Amino acid sequence: MSARARVRCCAILAVLLTLVIHSSEEEIDCKKDGLFADYDTDCQEYVRCLSGKVKGRYTCAPGRIFSEAAAACVSSQSNVCTQRICAPGDSHAYTTPMAACRHYYRCVNGTAVDHICPSGSWFDTDRQACSRGAGTCYEPVCAGLPNGKYPDTSSECHRFVHCRGADVRVVESCKGACTSKCPPPRLTAISIPAGDADFCSDEACASLCQNVPDGAYADRSTGCREYFECESHRVIRRGVCEPDLLFSGTGCEPASMFYCPPPARSPCFNRQDGLYRDWRNCSAWYDCRRERVVSRGACESGKVFDGAKCVSRNNFYCKGPEPSQLCEGMPSGTYQDLDSNCTRYYHCVGLMRTVLSCPKGKVYDGNKCSPASQYLCPNLERDSCYRRPDGRYRAQGAGCRGYYACFNGEKAMYACPQGHTFDGDSCKPSRSDLCPSEDYSCSGLSDGYHAEIESNCHR
Per residue in 290-324, pLDDT (tens digit) is 888 999 999 999 999 998 899 999 999 999 899 99
Q: Which residues pair with 131 in a beta bridge?
A: 122, 239
Average predicted confidence (pLDDT) for the chain: 82
Q: Is 326 helix (H, G, I), strand (E, B) or coil?
A: helix
Closest CA to 92 of 174, 153, 178: 174
Band of residue 125 on the pLDDT scale cut at 50, 70, 90:
very high
Domain containing residue 440:
400-455
Task: Name which residue leads in pLDDT, 390 or 276.
Answer: 276
Q: Are 346 and 355 in contact (CB under 8 A)?
A: yes
Distance CA 455, CA 433 (A): 28
- Does residue 346 surpass a pLDDT of 80? yes
C-alpha–C-alpha distance, residues 406 and 400, integer Å:
18
Final residue before a domain boundary, out of 257, 276, 299: 257
Is residue 253 assigned to a domain? yes
pLDDT at 75 over 60: yes
CB hemisphere CA count around 432 (13 angstroms): 0
Give CA separation, 347 vs 35, 229, 313, 320, 335, in Å. 36, 20, 18, 10, 6
- pLDDT 10s digits, 149-191: 999 999 999 999 999 888 888 999 998 889 988 988 887 888 8
Residue 247 lies in a domain: yes
What's the average model confidence in pLDDT over 257-265?
84
- Is residue 40 assigned to a domain? no
Residue 171: what pLDDT? 94
Please indicate, yes or no, whether residues 252 and 295 belong to a single structural domain of this protein: no
Residues 372 and 448 in one domain: no
Note whether residue 100 is domain-resident: no
pLDDT-based confidence at residue 94 (cuts at 50, 70, 90): very high
Pick from 236, 257, 278: which residue ends a domain? 257
Task: Judge whether 176 lies within some domain.
Answer: no
- Same-domain status, 240 and 310: no
Cα–Cα dist 431/177, whole Å? 42
* pLDDT number for residue 58: 93
User: Does any domain span residue 135?
Assistant: no
SS3 per residue for 383-433: CCCCCCCCEEEECCCCCCCEEEEEECCEEEEEECCCCEEECCCCEEECCCC
Which H/E stretch holds residue 292?
strand 292-298
Distance CA 331, CA 264 (A): 19
Q: Which of 3, 31, 173, 163 is nearest to 88 (CA)?
A: 173
Element holding 20 (H helix, E strand): helix 3-26
Confidence category of residue 230, pLDDT binned at 50, 70, 90? very high
Please give the Cα distance from 320 to 347 (Å, whole number).
Answer: 10
Structural contact between residues 137 and 192, judged by C-beta atoms closer than 8 angstroms: yes
Residue 12 makes CB contacts below 8 A (sequence gap 6+) with none
Same domain flag for 309 and 366: yes
Residue 449 lies in a domain: yes
Q: Do residues 376 and 321 share a domain?
A: yes
Domain total of the chain? 3
Q: How high is the pLDDT of residue 23?
A: 36
Rounded Cα distance, 268 and 404, in Å: 43
pLDDT digits (tens, 9 = 90+) for 429-457: 877 666 755 444 554 455 555 555 444 45
Q: For residue 458, is pLDDT > 50?
A: no
Domain assignment present for 439: yes
> Among residues 330, 348, 380, which one ends one of the domains?
380
Q: How far is Cα 459 from Cα 227, in angstroms, rounded to an integer? A: 28
Per-residue burial over 133-143, b if 16 or more Cβ lie within 10 Å, else e, is bbbebbbbbbe
Bridge partners, residue 285, by sequence: 277, 297
User: What share of the chain in percent tops pLDDT 70?
Assistant: 87
Q: What is the pLDDT of residues 29-44, one digit of tens each?
A: 787 788 889 988 989 9
Residue 297 sits in the same domain as residue 372: yes
Q: Give the pLDDT of residue 446.
A: 55
Q: How many Å apart are CA 310 and CA 316, to the nearest integer?
A: 10
pLDDT of 52 over the 90 cut = no
